[in-house]
A = this chain, B = another copy of it.
Amino acid sequence: MDRIPGFRDFYPEPLPTTDVWSADLRRLIFERWADTARRYGFREYDGPPLEPLELYTTKSGAEIVSQLYNFTDKGGREVAMRPEMTPTLARMASAQERQYKKPIKWYAIPQLFRYERQQKGRLREHFQFNADVVGESDRAADAELIALLIDSLRALGLAASDFVVRLSSRNAWQDFFSRHCSEGSKACEFYQVIDKLEREPFEVSAAKLEALGFAINDVQAFITAGQPTDELRLILDNLAARGLGAFVKVDYGVIRGLDYYTGPVFEAFDLKGEFRAIAGGGRYDNLIKVMSGGRVDLPALGFGMGDVVLAELLKARGLTPDVKPRLAAFVLIEDEALRADSLALIQRLRDAGSSVDYSFVPARSDKQFKRALELGARATVRLERSPGGDLIAKVKDLATRAEHAVAPDDVVGAVASVENSRGSAQSDVRAEP
């Protein structure tokens, strides 16, 4: 029996086949995201993976339903597996906004679902790092959010030579639109054309723009000139003060497809242009008011960054982090008379925080040693009885193959010193700037 097409299985490393994903890499990416959010003072939240269908139709209209994993539950309720996190954020923040000091800085790492006709390799779910600021209209919040986005990617080893944040603004486009067209109701349609400009043939875009009363040459001249507005200048200066200026450029080719953006918008792309957007977001100052039925009116902004494009990019750049299995110690049990003592020793090591494995059943010495190597153990430990009847422990560093005899009471320290001599990849959740 197979999993549902478009969904992923996550296996432990080393991966058994190329069509499954790495649970170890997923954990590492999540840890880097969460750690970067922590460094920026963003607090974690989460909502249910199943929400009322109405939450999405309120925000995006009835046409969104065709893209959703929605169904009627046994109680007759219309529900949908969440396709994005912003409606949940808006619901949660507006429900409790009086209880939190503004600005609210929150993040989540939800799994999101979209129903699409199945195409080869096309996924129906992904995990997405979401970060939002609620209750701050100053452009300093936009800069903070973009800095968080940049540092989330830097924490995974990506540099200014790998990616850039293309910064734009709905306000700049609104000005352009108003200068050329007095029918405000056409603005959304116009933005949709701009959003597709890089993906559609020139003639198609030109015709669509002409139908709206625009010349594509004017549009392209505006994009090419790329003069930062005052609000974008504030964001650029703020990022430059942080030393992050090299990661961002003004680019009006970005506008974001969704209707609800109201100010600065941005997308992160790999510089070679091989992948879809790594992340995208912007300001949506009216959405919480709409979603709360007018009850709560708070400016807000946020971004989302998916795990799939990111993992592909890391792989293409040779930056996939080392997620090989690691074990602090493998305890060799070569004398069954010492199994109980070995179990006590294993317990002591684990209590002290070391990862330890061993053979459940009697096995040849060389087989146990081979297993230790397969599991990435940094050390082996085995108990022996001295001629005088005392227990002694032999601790072997598997990198240097040096072996030392220590008293059983000193094994915890001896294993820790082998482990620390090269650092522990799996417990390293600290960003590497």
Binding site for B on A (CB under 8 A): 1-4, 7-13, 16-17, 20, 23-24, 26-27, 34-35, 38-41, 43-52, 54-55, 58, 69, 71-75, 77, 79, 81, 91-92, 95-96, 98-101, 103, 105-106, 111, 113, 115, 117-118, 125, 136, 138, 140-141, 144, 147, 151, 237-238, 241-244, 291, 293, 325, 327, 339-341, 343-344, 346-347, 350-357, 360-361, 371, 374-375, 426, 430-431, 433
Contacts and interface: CB of A to CB of B under 8 A. Distances in A.
A88 to B, nearest CB: 8
Contacts of A41: 327, 355-357, 375
B46 A23 contact: yes
A296 to B, nearest CB: 12
A291 B1 CA distance: 8
A1 B54 contact: yes
A1 B325 contact: no
A66 to B, nearest CB: 8
A115 B73 contact: yes
Contacts of A238: 343
Contacts of A91: 1, 3
Contacts of A151: 350-351
Nearest to A243: B347
Among A3, A73, A147, A291, residue most surrounded by chain B Cβ atoms (within 10 Å): A3
Given A9-B95, A242-B343, A242-B347, 16 more contacts: A3-B47, A4-B50, A9-B45, A9-B47, A16-B96, A16-B98, A16-B100, A23-B45, A26-B46, A41-B375, A49-B111, A101-B374, A241-B339, A241-B341, A242-B346, A244-B347
A433 B144 contact: no
A245 to B, nearest CB: 11
Nearest to A349: B39
A23 B48 contact: no
B8 A39 contact: no
Nearest to A58: B1
Contacts of A12: 43-45, 100, 106
A346 B371 CA distance: 46
Given A38-B426, A50-B4, A431-B353, A360 B44 contact: no
Nearest to A426: B38
Among A40, A72, A118, residue most surrounded by chain B Cβ atoms (within 10 Å): A40
A343 B40 CA distance: 12
Among A40, A360, A361, residue most surrounded by chain B Cβ atoms (within 10 Å): A360
A118 B75 CA distance: 9
Contact of A371 (B69, B101, B105, B118): B101
Contacts of A344: 241-243
Contacts of A340: 237, 241
A259 B344 CA distance: 35
A35 B243 CA distance: 36
B356 A1 contact: no
A48 B125 contact: yes
Nearest to A36: B350
